[in-house]
Amino acid sequence: MDNIAGTKSSLTWAVHISVVVLVALWLFPTVGLFVSSFRTADQISSSGWWNALFPTEQSLTLRTASPEEQVLVDGVYVIEGNLFAGEGLSDEIDMSSWGTSSRDIGAYAPGDTAELRDGEQITVQANGNYRLQSPVEMEGGRGQRIFVTAELPPDFTLANYQQVLFSGDRTDSMTKAFFNTLTVTIPATIIPIVVAAFAAYALAWMDFAGRALLIAMVVGLLVVPLQLALIPLLKLHLGIGIGKGYLGTWLAHTGFGLPLAIYLLRNYMVGLPRDIIENARVDGATEFQIFVKIILPLSFPALASFAIFQFLWTWNDLLVAKVFLIDATGQTTVMTNQIVELLGTRGGNWEILATAAFVSIAVPLLVFFAMQKYLVRGLLAGSVK
């Protein structure tokens, strides 16, 4: 009964579950990256992004006021204040433990008194109030360091985006890398579409010797790894003077993207009604007029489908940019390479890396959601007669 037209397959539930799993695998990391881009480094290191809306326990390194603030009270030098004051933290924070040494940051409970050097004593309360006293005058330019473990409320900041997008430091700012990526991606998407559209029309509707062989070659090029062609192509570009620049990168992306573009567009154009093309020829239309006025408008779903693939692949590319674009001054650095530099120079600054990564994927997400309705139409058209 499952094979009867109009009935649902018994495996429909499996398909639905698979779709949900695939969506979750894509959605969770993206949401996590977005949430982490607004969190501080302490929050990221202390808890996962799924706890961003809940208070988290964090370890803070704070200091008392400097010895310049000490006053003499009943023969004892005293410094009083609040550890959280001036740190942008709420006075309502309650600490769970504190310490005076990094080796044991939870040595004391709130309200305990710790013995320091030269007879000094310090008492810290749960709300951050402290009293540091000494029988002799305290010296030094900095206050006593205190390690505090406290539960902090959720905190979101735009400082990460400000540092990534508007910092003057080349290793931090991705604004220039963003425009460099656009400079590479837009022409590298348009050029193969234009060339492939002409080639696909010729292979679909024009009769000439060797057409079947050319189609077979296009299909064969789909399985050729681009890594095999990188070094020979770079030598060719250097030989004719277009290596290590935008032009060489555009041509490289065009060459690597043409097989898929021609294959996709040719399959779509073959499925168009033959009567329309033949009637246009009978009416005296040239091949160019048929292509421009009939084929291109009808092939828009396929063109948009390939444009999505090419744009996403070019925007997220690192290998081709490393080979054909990177220069010594970094003036043509793209976003993917900029993120690699952040990984190499910043190490554990995950808030900066998360922000830079989300800035990098924001544009592909907008392009995909804006044109997703054409994606399936372009891929499936021509597959069923």
Does 163-380 carry CATH code 3.10.450.710? no
What is the mean pLDDT of the segment spanning 102-119? 86
Instruction: Please give the pLDDT value at position 172.
Output: 46
Residue-wise pLDDT for 265-274, tens only, equals: 888 888 888 8
What is the mean pLDDT of the segment spanning 346-369? 78
Residue-wise pLDDT for 65-91, tens only, equals: 888 888 888 888 898 888 887 666 655
Helices 300-315/246-270 angle, 10° precision: 150
Instruction: Please give the pLDDT value at position 192.
Output: 92
Instruction: Please give the pLDDT value at position 90.
Output: 57
Question: For residue 77, what is the enclosing H or E element?
Answer: strand 76-82
- How many residues in total does the chain contain? 385
315 pLDDT more than 60: yes
Cβ contacts of 365-373, under 8 Å, gap ≥ 24: 365/30, 367/308, 367/311, 367/312, 368/308, 368/312, 371/304, 371/307, 371/308, 372/308
Instruction: Please give the pLDDT value at position 194.
Output: 92
Instruction: Please give the pLDDT value at position 347.
Output: 55
Q: List all residues 6 or more positions away from 249 whose beta carbon is below 8 Å from its beta carbon.
A: 184, 188, 320, 321, 324, 325
Half-sphere exposure of 183 (CA within 13 A, CB side): 18
Residue-wise pLDDT for 13-22, tens only, equals: 888 888 889 8
Closest to 45 in 3D by CA, of 36, 34, 53, 54: 36
Strands 71-73 and 113-115: unpaired
What is the mean pLDDT of the segment spanning 155-176? 72
Task: List, in sequence order, every residue forming a beta bridge with 121; answer none if it has no partner.
Answer: 115, 133
* Confidence grade of residue 222 (pLDDT, cut at 50, 70, 90): confident
Q: List all residues 6 or more positions away from 95 whose beta carbon is below 8 Å from its beta carbon.
A: 110, 124, 126, 128, 148, 149, 150
Residue-wise pLDDT for 274-286, tens only, equals: 888 888 888 888 8
Closest to 263 in 3D by CA, of 309, 198, 195, 200: 200
What is the mean pLDDT of the segment spanning 124-136? 87
The residue ranking higher by pLDDT, 349 or 176, is 176
The average confidence (pLDDT) of the chain is: 81
Cα-based angle 154, 53, 17 (whole degrees, multiple of 5): 155
2 pLDDT more than 60: no
382 pLDDT more than 50: no
Sequence letter at residue 3:
N
Cα–Cα distance, 349 to 351 (Å, whole number): 6
**What is the pTM for the complete model shown?**
0.69
* Confidence grade of residue 188 (pLDDT, cut at 50, 70, 90): very high
According to DSSP, residue 56 is labeled E
Sequence letter at residue 280:
A
Give domain 56-152's CATH number out of 2.30.29, 2.40.30, 2.60.40, 3.90.1690. 2.40.30
Q: How far is CA 363 from the centre of its chain?
A: 9
The residue ranking higher by pLDDT, 13 or 380, is 13
Instruction: Please give the pLDDT value at position 92.
Output: 61
According to DSSP, residue 67 is labeled G
